[in-house]
Amino acid sequence: MSKFNKDTSFETFVVGSLPRPEWVKDLIEDRKNNLLDTQEAKLLLDQAVPSAIKMQERAGVDYISDGEWRRESYVKVFSDSVYGFEKNLIPDPTGVSGLGYPAIVSPMQKIDDIAVSEATFLKNITKSKTIIAVPAPYTIGRRMWSAEHSSNAYETSDDFVKACVPIIQQEIKNLIKVGVNTIQLDEPWLALLVDPNYRKRSNISDSQIDHEIALSISTINQVVEDFQEIPFSMHLCHAHYNRQHGSKGPYDLIIDALGEINVDRFAMEFATPDAGGLEVLNRFPKNKTLGLGVIDHTDINVETPEIVVSRVESALKYVDQSNITLNPDCGFAPSSSNPMDFDEAYKKLRAMSLGAQILRNRY
């Protein structure tokens, strides 16, 4: 029996991030560039974030986040909280955003919580079930290590990945104390491996693929091994910016690895054609919950509830209804500068929730 869908079937989730209003984007940039004091920025965001929370509640989503409005990006939230990084040293390897990323340049030391304050604020605002995302070690390591800048701190990228594990473990321990209902581990860099063009850009040879997959599996399993109190989700996607994906391709290369990863649920892109179709779900592990992507966040056209239902019913050919939950393909704006539309996100989330209600009545 799935650890999800206990209270109601076809539960709905956000993946995490929501589009920010322009003034919030400016606020984050001013904070980043030291034009705005951190405490002043926090007080302003304390007034802004409740609207992101209430929007999800009004849309009818079961598991909600704080919209990640406090973050510059889903992965930079780690470097913002840990000593040892220098900003804007690594270009975007997906080639879609043009954003610079931090590099690790000296041994890490945790200086602030990563998501605990976000979770505490969220829990104080809503009575809904909550989901909080933290980046996974493999994605952090592959995203923010470079031979040019990082080898004096950590000789290899693998060393850096492994060093991230205890930091994430401690954060999870603290998040559980806050009382969040589920924790999502963001691991898009595992899904990017399915694209040969991405592997070429990242200098990952075919002989390295098994090692890359094994490193993701082992570090995720280390992160979650001591925590039985709550279920874990893991998010996989093809990366995106301004409605363009950074990679394409079906999940065939990594689908068998999912059975070896000790999380309860996998939130995966399937609404977009760039994900390659549902046939791969023939190999989806029977003892896991599928977070089925039913909303294409890169498509400006708003889905109808009937489209959501159709996408779920297509997946039911491969996965039992007790093991299917619903979510958008990805967060709507994993980086604060991502030019997405807040009202569009509301309409899409509302369609997802209404589609879920149709499914509950039907099944």
| In the chain, where the domains are located | 22-362
Cite the beta strand spans of 214-336 per DSSP E: 232-236, 240-241, 244-245, 265-268, 289-295, 324-328
φ and ψ at residue 102, rounded to 5 degrees = -70, 160
Reported as type and span, the H/E element at residue 290 is strand 289-295
CA 323 to CA 52: how far, in whole Å?
A: 28
pLDDT digits (tens, 9 = 90+) for 103-124: 999 999 999 999 999 999 999 9
Reported as type and span, the H/E element at residue 145 is none
User: What percentage of the chain has pLDDT greater than the value 90?
Assistant: 93
Domain 22-362: assigned CATH number: 3.20.20.210
Question: Which whole number is the average pLDDT over 153-176?
Answer: 97
Cα–Cα separations (whole angstroms), residue 46 to 169, 242, 333, 338, 343: 27, 27, 19, 21, 21
pLDDT digits (tens, 9 = 90+) for 319-356: 999 999 999 999 999 999 999 999 999 999 999 999 99
pLDDT digits (tens, 9 = 90+) for 239-276: 999 999 989 999 999 999 999 999 999 999 999 999 99
CA 208 to CA 202: how far, in whole Å?
A: 11
pLDDT for 97 equals 59
* Two structure tokens written together for 156: 């290899």
User: Maximum CA pair distance of the chain?
Assistant: 59
CB 244 within 8 A of CB 298: yes
